[in-house]
Amino acid sequence: MHHITIAGPGGYDRLHHRSVADLRAGPGQVRVAVRAIGVNFADCMVRQGLYASAKVYVGWPITPGFEVAGTIDELGEGVQGWAMGDRVVALVRFGGYATQVLCAPQYLMRPPPGWSDAEAAGFPAVFLTAWYGLHHLAHARRGEAVLIHSAAGGVGQALVQLALAAGCRVFGVVGGAHKLAAVQGFGCTAVVDKFATAWKPAARAFAPEGFAVALDANGVETLADSYGLLGPGGRLVVYGFHTMFRRGGSGRRNWPLLAWNWLRTPRFNPLALTTDNKSVLAFNLSFLFEQTAVLAEALGFLLPLCETGQVRPLPVTTFALAEAARAHQALESGATTGKLVLVA
């Protein structure tokens, strides 16, 4: 088998394509012959040595990757309900940038009907993140106004679709004129390019009563504004900190920038939250991997939406597995839309 390994933190040159011995399925495991692998911003943070769960559960060296699509090519003893050759999508807590992964059956799902391997590999992380933030935490309701930052990205496009399916009024913010069509294509109620339009006045005009939910993975640049745009009872959901990091360059950590942005990150006082009647919620699904009941609930909600067409696959841009460095560079540039996928 082949995989991408990272010996220690650094830039794009730390991603090495290696040939190693094949994996073998143990009791209660299946081996998946991987055809496609979803790329997430978390993978870039893993490479930089800034992703907490990677340190807790793996350390160095590490193979990044949370989601793959392929076929079962080996069954361990005691596995029920799956067969050799079954087409599957698998969730893994790291190790996904590889031509083989091992997985317990509870982390397998069948691809939505009609979805390609690349589309299916790009499904779990973004839609589970979107479901968890929008529904499990924020409990978005029909008619509520929802603010979505980075609406053209993977999680952003998933959030737009789920919020619209829930009957919400959706205001999306993107960073570039070329990203507008991607969000408009999913029927977003309103979307603005923050580089061409003053997005905060536009957001206030869209929801003069304040937003019920704001979903923010930008971090330091927009958190305070997102909180300020909430109405009474509003919920700010934080699931990333993209603007903490430098775009372009070698992909290495910029400690002065990280320190400055950490100092600028808003702190929310519980007394002020009470007076404002607002909530701040945050999560990282990689620390919740053992909560299989929540995973089953999420898939039970999401897969029927895929089958009815209320949720559509995200547009994908593919790279060969050996080109993982190019994929990271593209994702960190901030210029991409939809989902990036490695093809094994």
Residue 114 is assigned to a structural domain of this protein: yes
Structural domain that includes position 96: 2-123+313-343
Residue 304 is assigned to a structural domain of this protein: no
Same domain, 150 and 81: no
Same domain, 50 and 160: no
Same domain, 65 and 197: no
Residue 298 is assigned to a structural domain of this protein: no
Same domain, 99 and 136: no
Residue-wise pLDDT for 138-187, tens only, equals 999 999 999 999 999 999 999 999 999 999 999 999 999 999 999 999 99
Compute the CA torsion angle 185, 191, 197, 200 (nearest 10 deg).
Answer: -160
Q: By C-alpha distance, which of 154, 305, 135 is closest to 213?
A: 135
Same domain, 28 and 47: yes
What pLDDT score was predicted for residue 257?
86
What pLDDT score was predicted for residue 187?
95
Same domain, 169 and 195: yes
Residue-wise pLDDT for 82-139, tens only, equals 999 999 999 999 999 999 999 999 999 999 999 999 999 999 999 999 999 999 999 9
61 upstream amide cis, omega within 30 of 0:
yes
Residue 300 is assigned to a structural domain of this protein: no
Residue-wise pLDDT for 284-309, tens only, equals 999 999 999 999 999 999 999 999 99
Residue 11 is assigned to a structural domain of this protein: yes
What pLDDT score was predicted for residue 139?
99
Q: By C-alpha distance, which of 148, 128, 175 is closest to 333?
A: 175
Residue 157 is assigned to a structural domain of this protein: yes
Same domain, 232 and 116: no
CATH number of the domain that 36 lies in?
3.90.180.10
What pLDDT score was predicted for residue 43?
98
DSSP string, 53-103: HHHHHT-SSB---SEEEEEEEEE-TT--S--TT-EEEEE-SS--SBSEEEE
Residue 308 is assigned to a structural domain of this protein: no
**Residue 174, token pair as written in the block:** 């993107």
Report the number of distinct structural domains present in the chain.
Answer: 2
pLDDT(248) > 70? no
Where do the H-state alpha helices sit in 282-323? 292-308
Same domain, 270 and 144: yes
CA 202/CA 225 separation, integer angstroms: 13
Same domain, 183 and 250: yes
**Residue 75, token pair as written in the block:** 């069954």
Backbone φ/ψ region at 187: left (φ over 0), alpha (ψ -120 to 50), beta: left
Query: Phi/psi at 39 (nearest 5 deg)?
Result: -105, 135
Same domain, 63 and 169: no
Average pLDDT over residues 181-205: 97
Full-model pTM: 0.96
Same domain, 168 and 263: yes
Same domain, 96 and 234: no
Residue 42 is assigned to a structural domain of this protein: yes
Q: By C-alpha distance, which of 239, 316, 276 is closest to 38?
A: 316
